[in-house]
Every structure is written in C-alpha cells, then in structure tokens.
Amino acid sequence: MAPPKEKEPSPSPGPSQPPSPSPQPQPQRPPHSRTSSSASNRFHAHAPATPSGLRNAHLPSDPSTSPEDTMHSHMQPYHDDPSPSTSPSHPDLALHSDRDPEPNARTRLLNHHSWDAASGCGDEHCTHGAMSPRPQTPRSYGSFNSPTGFGGRYPGSIDSQTGGPADATHALLGDAVADILGGDGDDDASKMSTTRYLARQHGVKHKRMMYLAYYIPILNWAPQYKWRYFKGDLVAAITMASFYIPMALSYASNLAHVPPVHGLYSFAINPLIYGILGSCPLMVVGPEAPGSLLTGEVVRENINKGASGDDDGRLNAEIAGIVTCLAGAFIFTAGLFRLGFLDNVLSRPFLRGFISAIGVVIFIDQLIPMMGLARIAADQVSHGSCLDKFVFLVRNIGNAHGLTSALSFTAFAIIMFFREFKKRLQSRYPSVAYIPDRFVVVLLSAIIVGTLRLDERGVAILGQVNSSGPVFSVHFPFETSHLKYASDAINTALIIAMLGFFESSVAAKSLGSGDAKEGVQMPLSANRELIALGTANMTGGLFMALPAFGGYGRSKVNASTGGLTPMSNILLSLITILCAFFMLPYFYYLPKGVLCAMVSVVAYSLVEEAPHDIKFFWRIRGWSELLLMGIIFFITVVWDLKRGIGVGIGLSILRLVRHSTRPRIQILGRVPGTTDRFANAELDPENLEFIEGCLIVKIPEPLTFANTGNLKNRLKRLEDHGTNAAHPALPRVRREEHNQNVIFDVHGVTSLDGAGAQVLYEIVESYVKRDVKVFFCRVPHERSAVWGLFETSGIVDMCGGKRHFVKSVEQALHMTEVERLTEEFGSEGESSGVASRGAP
C-alpha cells in the first residue's frame, strides 16, 4: 500500500473557495531573498537561484501530477489510466510544500482583492491584463464579466438517465427557441439551459439579442462595421462586377438557355440576401457553371418534348425559376433539420470526377458557338451527348466561321494570358488583381463588332438582352399550370442543391470567419449557411434567376481586392441592379463567341485541378478513389450529367455505408516489461505478449445499429484465430482456455444506442452461458447515457455486478486472478467440508 500523501498547503483563495487562514508572521526579508533557493540547492545542485514560478500550475483534479508526467503519458502507444501517484517523483516537488511560506510577487497578485486591478488601472473591475489591454467584445448584446472564466455545463440541465436536457421544452425545441420564448426573466432552475446559465454568470445582458445576432448575422456584423472598411468593400464589388456581370450574361444565354438578363438577377438578388443571413463574411454568392448547365438541361428537355420553344424566352425563364426555387427549398429544408453535416457525405474523388467531367462537357459545348457552328449544330446535335458534339466538331471543323473563330480564340488567349500573369505576380504585386481584363476584353469586342458592324458579316451577337418582360418582374413558380415542369425539375434541383452547398461549404471552410486583424468576426455554421443559401435561391426563383451559391474563386477575388465584410455582397447587388436598369442596351453588340470564350476559361479551371488529385491518389495507392473518379468521369462525358451524378452518389453512399458498418475491434497485447501498457496486437504481434486465459478486446468507436451487426462474427474470429486478418475458413488455432476471461476496453464507446446495447447484451449472455467471465474497463461515467444503457439493459448484473467494471485493463487482469483464486478456495473449502462430514 502506498504511503499517505503529505498534506500540501491549499492554493490561493479563488471565487469558489473561502480564503485560507493567514500564515504565521515571518521575519521580514527582501522580496528577492535567496534563502529558500540556497536551501533548495543543497538538495538539487542544478536548481535555479531564483525560481520564476512560471512552471507552477493549479490542477484541481490531480495536484501531484507534474507537466513532465503529463508529457510522458502522452508519449505512450497505449496506456491505462493509472491511479494518481501518492508520493512526489522528484525531490524538488516535495521541497515546495514546506518551504517559502512568505508571499512572492505571484502570490501577492493572486491574493489581491481583484487581481486584474493590479495592472494599474485602479478600477476594481478593471478589464486590463497584467501585460496588455484586453480588447472589448464587438458584440452589442451584452458585456462579459466572468468571475472564473472556466465556463462549464449547468448541472441542473442534465437528465441523469439520458445525459440530455432535463427540461422537455429544451430537449424538443433547443436552447435558442426555448430561451427566446421563455423570456429574459425566467428564474426557474429546472428549466434553465446551460446557455442561459452561462450568459447570466458571465454578464450577458440581452440574451434574446444574443440569439437573434447569431441567426441573423447582419445584427452581429453591422455594429462591428467601420467606415474604413467601406473603401475596400466598394473596390472589391466594382472589380467583381466588371469580371462576373459579363460572365452571368454568358451563363444565362449559353448554358441555361434563358434570356441573358436572368443571369444578372442572380447577382442582384442572391448576394443581397446572403449579405444579411450569411455567416461567412468573405464569401460572395452568384451563378456557377455546373448549376447553370444543369438548369439548361431541364430547359432543353422541355424544348425537346415540345412543352417550350427555343424562342420562348419567358417560358424558359419560368422553368429556370422553378429549378432555382426548388433547389433553394431543398437547401432551406436541410438547414431547418440541421443537416449541415451532409457536406461530408460526398467524397472528394466523386466531386473531382464529376466536376472535371462538367468542365469537359462545358468546354466542348462552348466550342460550337466559338467556331460559328451553332446554326449547323442546331439541326444535328443541339441536344446530343458530349461525345456526339465532339464527333460533330471533328467532322465540321472545315465549316467554321473565320471572323467568329478569330474573335473567340483571341479573347480566350488574352483571358488565359492575364489569368496566368496575375497568378504569377499577385504574390509580389497584389495590385495586379485589380486589372479588369475580362471587362476590357468584353468592352473592346463589343466596340469592334458595333463599329465595324461585324454582325452583318456573320458574327453572332447577344442582341436583345431582356426578352422576358419588364425588369425584375415577379412570377410565382408553382402555379397550377406549371406543376408539370416542377415534376421534371425535382431530381435536377436536388443535384444542383447538393453540388451548390458542397462548393459553398468548401469555400466557407477555406475562407473562415473573417480576417483576424481587420473586418468583422462571425461564427461560421453549416446549418446557417443552408438557411441563407436556401432563402436566397427561393427569393431568386421568384425573379426567375439562375441558381446561385458561394464560389471559392469568386470569393478569393473579393478578398484579394479589398473586401473585408458582407457589405461587398450588398454593394455588388446594388451595382448589378443599376446595370439591369440602365446598361442593358449597351450589351446589344456583345459577340456570343467572346462570352463563350469566358465560359471556356471557367471550364478549363474546373479541369485543371484533376491532375493534382490523380497524382496524389496514385502516390498513396488510392486505387478505389481513382476508380471512382474514372467511372463518374466516363459516365458523365459519354452518357449524360444526371446518370453520371446518380451513379456517383450511389457509389459514394455504398462506400460510406461499408465503412460505417464495419466494426474496428482490436485484440490487445501487453508491452513486455510493463504491467499497464497495452497495444494493438494486429500491428506488432511479435513485440507484444499475450496473457494466458485472457482475451483483451478494445472497442475504439461508438456502438450503433450500423456497426454492431457484424460484431459477433468479428469477436468469433478473435476467439478462434487471435486476429481479424485470418480467413473464416481457417479452423480454430487459439486454444479455448485462453478465452476463459474476456476483457472489453470500451474507452472509445462514447455513445451507445438501443440496438447496439441489445447486441452487446446478447454477446455477454453467450459468454456467461459458456462460463466465460466478462469484464469491462474504462466505461464512461455513471451519469452518462452509455452507463445508463449498461444498467437498464442488464449487462451490469449479468457480468457479476459493478465489481466487473474497473478503471483499467491492469485492474481487470487483477480481478481475473481474484476470481480464479476465489473459485479455487471455494472449491477446496467445499471438498474439505464434504471430507469432514464423511469421516467417522
């Protein structure tokens, strides 16, 4: 038994404990007296003359553990949680318990009535630190005055049975809705949430405004906004307008097959709403090539069926509005049900294969008008597959229109040159990002065509931009007469919603919650992004706009040209609205070939990242990822977009289900020369030792209905072969006596559902029927939901009570010895009793 620990002096008084009695008066010494240091040096020759005290730490759970011990424990491959040491491991650690009772600079600061006030401010509730001032919080809904600064969950809010909220209202509606409906003056402790408790403890005054500022981010960033940000936001908005307004016109006319003005609506409506509701301050939303192309697929299907016509711009725009509104409704519904985690379902290989295929499809699609072959293609392959169009281009390359080809490919070369030029020089000369190369190309091409009247010589021009009625006219997408179009658009709208949200999520995660030094700070949330994007697209659908989501490239342009806040989204919307009202006539002479060249540059950018991913997966031998990319790319290019993405989603879900349903149990072996260190025997079986009569199994993951279905079979393999790597056809090679005690290390089982508990109960029951003793170690706390299921399901009683639930594998091994000795002594006692009763 370890010797009792020496009593250490109590720490300095804090908010949660009464002040300790004053020490006995000591002879006065200079503040930097070396007496104690010299005494310490007699025990340790290398001790510093004047200890700084910086290594001192207050650890309420284990005051005897040193930082070195903590670092050492993290270096072990697998280590049980041993009992705290009862004696100091180093002589110096014991010296400080009975030496230097006089206060030093550190203890004087901590014992101060308000230690913050020692910074020199003079205010008892000073907000300055000892070294530098603390920044005030930019939020306007309250102030922070924390007595401890540790936070923590409100004890009264926990249900001891489920581990969830104790109050039914908070469990059903969540903290935000329940607290807003409950009001600021609710003092009922049983109905108080952890959020309200912490807000009250730390001085947050306006709790409703706290929630509103979270869910309506403009209430958060508007009070933080400073006028010095406006210049950067305005410059960024003008720069993006010069780049992307011509691009929006091209997306609408060439990809979505709707009047060009509806591409402008996507930049007029969606960024405005996202600036109010979006949680990523640097992200800019707008139409994207994949979403526009998929919208155009729906429009072309209706044209093929005769439900619409190529020249019926109004009806085609209404069909596009239905697609946009449905995509927004899907996104919005996912946000309401908190499905923001779904952005992790689509794997990177799937997206890379599909997006690369979309780039190829768009590039081949745009080559036809760039070469002046649109009229010929309209009669042959206007609605054919990508492969059909490629064959058409090869056969009709001699029929290309010379002027159109010259304008288009010259514009493509200029844009590509400036793209590479900016990419190479922007790191040294950031101002090159302001060069409006695409705007200049579009402007010069329109001037050349209009001045020389090249439209009369066969160059196709944009012509009348708005051919669908008054500017910003509203149309309800779901009229009774339009429901037939909605049924055709549902599948495509769902695909657009998934792709758009994933791209927005990638952009938001890359951009973060804002510049740490300049701009506004907002907490990023995937669910609030769903709400913002869904609201923006549903509103845009009323104006027959194209689907619009966040784009990483566009957002990087915003950040690199001075944008700091969501105000750049709002300013971009205002500029686009002005263009829609006053500048539409000036777009008349824009050559379609030049607009197609701009789209071709975007298509190239979609494909250019594929070689990098292919090289990466090849280097790591990711054959399954490469196969998935290849299958999706091939089906999308050769067949069509819908079947390509359908196959891709199906394969991704199958891989996800296969991964989540496979149990990852491990057999553990002991590290030689130790008693409390265990490691995975599957990885290094030759350097570990197995304990006779014991099967030690580690379950490193939560147990649910998904991964417990095959748990029995995996355990059977461990019992028969001592490994999961052997084929089940192999006969038993592990002797039965080595499975008399089964020890489960369930430290990784942080959650357990009813189906998982039932399977675990059946496993324990089968062991008990075979007289195999079952032990569990490192089970979660008795107040946790996992332990509650262990008790209510009967697993605890079936194992033999709580004594079979211990804190470490080492203790479990000790319990197996205790059980064995108890049985042996019991059987010997029974034998001796029988012998004594049978003696004459």
492 and 349 together in one domain: yes
Residue 75 confidence (pLDDT):
41
Is residue 778 in a domain? yes
Residue 513 confidence (pLDDT):
67
What is the rounded CA–CA span in Å between residue 128 and residue 518?
22
Residue 64 confidence (pLDDT):
41
260 and 368 together in one domain: yes
717 and 612 together in one domain: no
758 and 618 together in one domain: no
Is residue 201 in a domain? yes
Mean pLDDT of 224-253: 88
What CATH number corresponds to the domain at position 783?
3.30.750.24
525 and 576 together in one domain: yes
> Strands 741-745 and 694-698: what pairing?
parallel
- Specify the higher pLDDT residue, 28 or 262: 262
At residue 50, does pLDDT exceed 90?
no
510 and 637 together in one domain: yes
807 and 707 together in one domain: yes
Mean pLDDT of the chain: 78
- Specify the higher pLDDT residue, 769 or 468: 769
Q: Which residues of 374-413 are buried (b: 16+ CB within 10 A; e: fewer)?
A: bebbeeebbeebbebbbebbeebeeebbebbbebbbebbe
Residue type, 12: S
178-192, 438-452, 561-575: least confidently modelled range:
178-192
Sole residue written with tokens 């494909």: 607
| pTM (global) more than 0.75 | no
The residue out of 655, 682, 703 marking a domain boundary is 655
Is residue 85 in a domain? no
In degrees, rounded to 5, the angle at the alpha carbon of residue 293 between the alpha carbons of residues 288 and 296 is 125
Sign of CA dihedral 503, 505, 509, 513: positive
What is the rounded CA–CA span in Å between residue 326 and residue 22?
72
520 and 419 together in one domain: yes
User: Where residue 445 falls among pLDDT bands split at 50, 70, 90?
Assistant: very high
168 and 284 together in one domain: no
What is the rounded CA–CA span in Å between residue 300 and residue 315?
12
Is residue 724 in a domain? yes
Is residue 37 in a domain? no
Please count the other Cβ atoms lying within 10 Å of the Cβ belonging to residue 447.
Answer: 11
What's the structural domain count of the chain? 3
What is the rounded CA–CA span in Å between residue 187 and residue 478?
47
452 and 506 together in one domain: yes
Domain around 206? 155-215
Using one digit for the tens of pLDDT, what is the confidence trace for 381-423?
766 778 888 999 999 999 999 999 999 999 999 999 998 888 8
What is the tally of helices (H) and strands (E) in the chain? 30, 8
User: Where residue 183 falls among pLDDT bands split at 50, 70, 90?
Assistant: low
Is residue 730 in a domain? yes
The residue out of 636, 655, 674 marking a domain boundary is 655
Residue 56 confidence (pLDDT):
44
530 and 472 together in one domain: yes
The residue out of 635, 655, 675 marking a domain boundary is 655
At residue 619, does pLDDT exceed 90?
yes
Using one digit for the tens of pLDDT, what is the confidence trace for 665-677?
889 999 998 988 9
Residue 811 confidence (pLDDT):
93
Is residue 91 in a domain? no
Is residue 48 in a domain? no
Sole residue written with tokens 């019991």: 826
371 and 473 together in one domain: yes
Residue 711 confidence (pLDDT):
86
